[in-house]
């Protein structure tokens, strides 16, 4: 078999159904811990050193970290949504590698996998970076098989990665009901944020692979930065909730947009129970030609997503 370099990677879910292209893959390693077993002293000696026999223990599989674009299919976003809704689903699937001749060269098949982490990209009008999303997959079982040399299907052909590059972090909409249609939101930069789903290893009796059980869902704070000139409604919110102690939460959303054929919503993240925690005025220097900025940090009680139509 000739060596090759990876040309394209696809993610499949449930009986070899492709759900989109993957721009990078990390993890998914095959491991085991050494099991040590003392077998007694050396021949002809009493006491002293003892020999220890070592052999491989049960298999262990690292999480698979994939980076994808916003142009994934609805089936993929449904899996992510279930995790954010605190109703995580176990799924079977595979990471499939194709060479530059579009022939399948290998596949890593995972079984009963949970999503353990989802990182959403920053939203910044000044950025030209792609709108990539990072997802960690925690499998109970992992298998590697050689590819069957089948050709990449037309509906997941090489145009897919090109389409994903059309979407950048510069196109987005950020709304908070409490702030309304304010200039601060139109000028805001929203930092990347990560949702973590706890996954607990649960070895059971003679079973070869450890089971994966669902742990606690951890939601991050939302951090946005905007010009100080627009801080007034934020200060009023801070005074009402922090200084005066009123319970005033808000809902909102962050919509990642594409502009290939006009405004297209690729993915929307809805926030519920937003609370303003802090307003940090960034360092300012006299006679320096730069905008005075404020960083707002918000706690969030719930998140959900609405996926776009994808490219597949």
Count of positions (residues) in the chain: 312
Write out the two tokens for 176.
């908070």
Write out the two tokens for 91.
């799924």
Q: Comparing C-alpha atoms, which of 2, 144, 12 is closest to residue 66?
A: 12
Compute CA 159 distance to the chain's CA centroid, rounded to the nearest angstrom.
23
Q: How far apart are CA 198 and CA 214, in angstroms?
A: 6
Tens-digit pLDDT string for the chain (312 aa): 555 556 789 999 987 788 888 989 999 888 888 888 887 655 555 554 567 888 887 888 899 999 988 878 888 999 999 999 999 999 999 999 998 888 889 999 999 999 999 999 999 888 777 778 999 999 999 999 998 888 887 554 444 555 555 567 788 899 999 998 888 888 889 999 999 999 888 888 777 788 888 899 999 999 999 999 999 999 999 999 999 988 889 999 999 887 654 467 888 999 999 999 999 998 766 656 668 889 999 999 999 998 765 444
Domains of the chain, residue spans: 8-31+58-307
- pLDDT for 159: 46
- pLDDT for 212: 85
Residue 86: is it exposed, middle or buried by C-beta count within 10 angstroms (0-12/13-18/19+)? middle
- pLDDT for 181: 84
Could you give the angle at the alpha carbon of 149 between the alpha carbons of 161 and 143, nearest 5°?
A: 85
Q: 76 forms bridges with which residues in the sheet?
A: none
Q: Comparing C-alpha atoms, which of 185, 75, 69, 86 is closest to residue 121?
A: 69
Q: How far apart are CA 139 and CA 274, in angstroms?
A: 33
- Say which residues have a Cβ less than 8 Å from residue 261's Cβ, sequence separation at least 6: none
- pLDDT for 95: 94
């Amino acid at each position: 078999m000739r060596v090759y370099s990876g040309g394209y990677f696809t993610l499949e879910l449930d009986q070899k159904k492709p759900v989109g292209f993957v721009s990078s893959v990390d993890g998914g390693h095959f491991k085991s811990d050494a099991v040590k077993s003392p077998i007694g002293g050396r021949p002809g000696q009493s006491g002293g050193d003892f020999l220890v026999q070592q052999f491989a223990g049960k298999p262990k599989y690292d999480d698979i970290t994939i980076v994808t674009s916003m142009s994934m299919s609805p089936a993929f976003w449904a899996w992510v949504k279930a995790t954010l809704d605190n109703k995580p689903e176990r799924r079977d699937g595979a990471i499939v590698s194709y060479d530059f001749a579009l022939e399948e060269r290998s596949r890593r098949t995972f079984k009963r996998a949970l999503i353990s982490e989802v990182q959403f990209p920053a939203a910044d009008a000044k950025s030209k970076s792609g709108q990539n999303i990072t997802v960690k997959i925690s499998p109970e079982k992992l298998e590697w098989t050689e590819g069957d040399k089948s050709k990449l299907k037309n509906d997941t052909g090489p145009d897919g990665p090109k389409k994903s590059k059309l979407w950048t972090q510069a196109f987005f909409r950020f709304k908070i009901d409490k702030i309304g249609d304010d200039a601060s939101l139109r000028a805001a930069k929203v930092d990347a944020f990560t949702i973590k789903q706890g996954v607990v290893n649960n070895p059971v009796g003679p079973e070869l692979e450890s089971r994966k059980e669902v742990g606690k869902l951890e939601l991050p704070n939302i951090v946005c930065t905007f010009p100080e000139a627009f801080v007034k409604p934020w200060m009023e919110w801070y005074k009402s909730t922090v200084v005066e102690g009123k319970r005033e939460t808000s809902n909102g959303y962050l919509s990642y947009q594409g502009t290939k054929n006009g405004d297209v919503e690729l993915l929307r993240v809805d926030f519920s129970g937003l609370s303003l925690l802090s307003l940090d005025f960034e360092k300012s220097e006299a006679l320096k030609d730069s905008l005075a900025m404020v960083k707002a940090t918000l706690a969030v009680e719930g998140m959900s997503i609405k996926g776009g139509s994808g490219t597949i």
